[in-house]
Structure 1
Amino acid sequence: MTPHRWALLFACAAVVALVTAVLAWQRRDRTFAATALVVTMTGVATWSGASVLLYGNGSETARQLYPSLLMGAVGVVVGGIYVFARAVVDPSWRPDRRTVGLLAIEPVVMAVLAALPATRALVMSGNGLAGTGIEEQVTLGPIFGAHTLYSYAVIGLSYVRLVRRWWTAAGIFRRQIGVLLCAALIGTIGNVVTIVLQLDGRGTDITPLFFLVTGLINAWAVLRLGFLRLVPIAREQVVDTVPDAVLVIDPDGVLIDLNPAADQLLTALRPQLVGPDRIGRLLAEVAGEHAIAVLNRTERLDGHRVVEVRPGLWLDVRDTLVSDARGRALGKIVVARDVSEQEQRRAAVEELNRQLAERVREIERLRAELAEEAVRDPLTGLHNRRHLDRVLAGDPGSGAHDDQLAVITLDLDHFKTVNDRFGHMAGDTVLKAVARLLQASVRDGDTAVRLGGEEFLVLLPGADREQAVVRAEEMRRGVAAVVHAFAGEQVRVTVSAGVAVLPDDAASAAALLEAADRALYTAKATGRDRVVAAGDARHGPSDAPAPEPVPAV
């Protein structure tokens, strides 16, 4: 190959190395391994640039500058490899000033020794192709030998660290470090081959091309696939053995690691994606758009979310952001636990509670019905004497007008004759008809009661004597107006009513009932079918003539 073609090849290598260094520099905030890549690729670019200067120019000045540029660039590459290996083994590691100084001493010293006329020959003499295209014999001096031993020692130490980490790593981290080790061997083997081929003093140093390949693989692994962004401390002892699914996500949402439990979970979610194919892909792709959408819509409670990512599969999800010592985001760790069984039990308990609540409501309803039935007359549906006693035992003077309470007692006239002539069913029909009429005549707050047999009572809170008498008259006329058909005969019944008012006629509930009963007895004794108020003269029926009595009477 002609010198100009070599120059073009090395120029391309220098450009690629510089572009890679720039890309790595832009991502230096994610992992310190990117900064180490910048150093390494800068050294490779300088090394390739020195070869461009030598093969493309070929002047005496170029030949004089080449050894110094070469030795400095090689030292930078070696230092970059060392820093990169340390960052891989421990992503939290950062070189201190002492370490940077020690790594910088060798390339600076070698560049100076190769530049000084007095020591240049001790480093190397003859440097490849002259401008005429005639090969110059290359002679490597003792200082170059010491430099080679130093370089291999530093690179060897770096490889030992990587191999040890690879040996103790597990899962995806073991594969990641394996990729980096293979990439490192490419540059080392290329350098060994080049030196062996140059032992006769002839040939072209193509080592920077090999290290360029190594750097590109490292850049692809670290920058593109997100390798080494999170520290794999105790991963194989903890993460791989926990029953919870653990997923490591980089800042771009790319899955960069998962444990066996997570692999099983993702298989359940997306069975078409298997094993290593998930690594390096977006979490939304490997978990499914639906699962991620449901997760994002779920409110976080106490640092975690419980979501149904597919029918019957419930997950308790917690995620923790991870940053380096400087607070820069490295990604996040997502821990998901299958809580489907617990959710099923919870749903079953909720269903039981719902059924229990319904039964409790039903029991309460039945109890209310029983309590209502206990204070209701089973035949007429009116309240019974028990309910009346409870009302009067409470606050009998709770009316709206000056604590007044009026009582109307009603008794069917000649009711026994109806039973004797037409039977008890006919009597029951009459009682129910009277009850309906009384129930229809009461207002809010009034109480209609069947005291027993053919006797009824109506409480009128807030009513005075005149109002109570008017209401009693309306009830009396209403009962008398109803015509009953029994055995082909038209039958009417009448009622007698007594009215008493608290506090005018009595000072207590018991006395009030007694006063109303006395008025009722007066109505019965003075001709029936009339209303009599306690303490007043007899009130006769307002309708004339009086309704026809039962024919048997």
Structure 2
Amino acid sequence: MIAFDLAACVQLRGTGPQDYFIIALLPVFTIITLLIRRQPPFSGKRFFLTANWALTAWLFTVAMELLSADPGCKVLWGMLAYPWISLLPVAWFLFVWRYGRGETGRIARWQWALLIGVPACGALAALSSPLTGLFYAPGTAPSSPAPGAPIAYVYGPLFYANAAVLYGFLLGSFVLLGRGIARAAGISRLLYVMLFAMTALPSLANVGYVAFGINIAGFDPTPFLFSFVLLAYAAIMSLSNFFQISAIAKDMIFDGLPSPIVVVANDGRIMASNAQAQALMPAAAAADATVWNVASLADLMTLAISGERLSTPPEVRIGDGLFEVSLTPVRDTHRIGTAGTMGFAFVFFEVTQRKALQASLAAALDATDAKLDAALIQNRRIADEVRTDPLTGLLNRRALTTEFEAMTAAGAARIFAVMVDIDHFKAINDTQGHARGDDVLIALGTCLQRAFRDSDRVFRMGGEEFLILLPDMDAATLEARIARLRRDSQIAGDMLLPSTMPLRFSAGVAAWPTDAETLTDLLDSADRRLYTSKSTGRNKTSGPLTETG
């Protein structure tokens, strides 16, 4: 195996016109590849570009091998060509695969694995030659004593194994293209035939080189023929718009869409309209038609030219129909570096029935909302009536559990329960009448609300009995509040009752959780202390406070 010196690899010299030809191919191929990259997407485009870049890199290594004077450097460049030699048939196979299946989406994992794995294995096999001699065999040497003479390579088993793998991808490309030829028709079949021929040309050249030693200036003719194939294919796509398949498809979609479409130039000329638009607006079908001759289009054109951003699509009425219109600028994509607007596409979507349904639905929803609001008000009123005493407006027994649970849930550390009962209320009813008794109940309810805090809850438990729940109040403050209640109720009694019948009450106080752990036990405890106040002379408070009378 020939040894190489890296320092000698920078010593380059031309050996003939073939060197300059290959060097000239590199920028041409790079520019064309970049131009193809700017073309609209087509199936397999990424892999087609990958094949172009692989071939460009391969041509670069061929040029460097030609220009290198040192035999060892020529062999080194020959080995460095193998990542790109291996990548090219893989990328071409994947291009044919995705083109035949019409795929333009993300690259699948198995495709990434082939793109990376096969070139990596080819590179490792080639670069192992100095150590193993299994790729380029020890007999590899210059073909003649002349300076810069081509290398006569002797191939080892790894070379043929790598070639078999790459031929497998080429064979796969032939199978896919053959299936495409069998299934396609018309222009599509012609395109598959051309792809088949383009794939066959460099493949046959490579077989001739490997099996029979056919070469160009001592080099593998495959990259040269492949470059012409890719250039020819790129020219077909660029100049013929890919055999106008894309244009044909667009025309089919344009005429087949159910929505009317009108395409206009910047000066208002109607450039194209589909059958649906011509049926809707016959004036748009005239040879010299402009938007200014069609009233419904003139307003849309004015709006489109203004460039105003709309939150909702504009609406136009044509005949008995109502249409929403999409205004889409038509860009000139062939002017590199610009995004000039050539005109506009007006797409009409009939919304007559939808708008009628929306109006009916809105009216029905408004009526339903009104009914729901009335029902909510009624439900609130019923709920209030269920929880409220109708005479005094205070909460009743039904609200007791809910309010107590709300206080405990809010984190109250202590809750006082004060049970209040009007003294000698039966005598008031008997001597002053039930109406006056009701006035007394209302007055005491008012006094209770004034004497205690907003956070406290006052209940009428029934008859002349009342309950107050007081969260987180200290005993001294509670005692002061009850004292105020006695003063206020006495004043109210003086206004409603004769002086011989003062308004007084007895009270029982219990505390949660000191006296009881449940609401029921708390009420029982307060009620027992109320009974104590009643049985020991009335007009007093019994419980964990100073007894008052």
Structure with the greater alpha carbon radius of gyration: 1
Question: Shorter-chain TM-score: what band?
Answer: 0.3 to 0.5
Q: TM-score, normalised by structure 2?
A: 0.45
Q: TM-score, normalised by structure 1?
A: 0.45
